[in-house]
């Protein structure tokens, strides 16, 4: 099974990449904020430039 990770700009400072698990009707700006990405980075366009990574889950 594949997991989708996402990594906004400078995400390593805030514990990214992380699994991309948006809540229903949650925007791409709301998900990273909930996951600890600061609002100031989102305001600077950080959420627009997220990198998405497909990764095979361990144990397969």
| CB atoms inside a 10 Å sphere around CB 42 | 17
Strand partners, 19: 5
Whether pLDDT at 60 is above 60: no
Report the phi/psi class of residue 26: left, alpha or beta, with left for phi > 0 and alpha for psi in -120 to 50.
Answer: beta
Domain ranges across the chain = 13-48
Per-residue pLDDT tens digits for 9-43: 999 999 999 999 999 999 989 999 999 999 999 99
Give which of 46, 48, 56, 54 is closest to 20, Cα–Cα: 54
């Amino acid at each position: 099974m594949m997991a989708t990770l996402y990594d906004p700009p400078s995400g390593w400072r805030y514990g990214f990449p992380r699994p991309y698990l948006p809540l229903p009707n949650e925007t791409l700006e709301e998900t990273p904020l909930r996951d600890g990405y600061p609002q100031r980075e989102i305001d600077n366009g950080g959420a627009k430039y997220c990198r998405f990574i497909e990764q095979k889950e361990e144990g397969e």
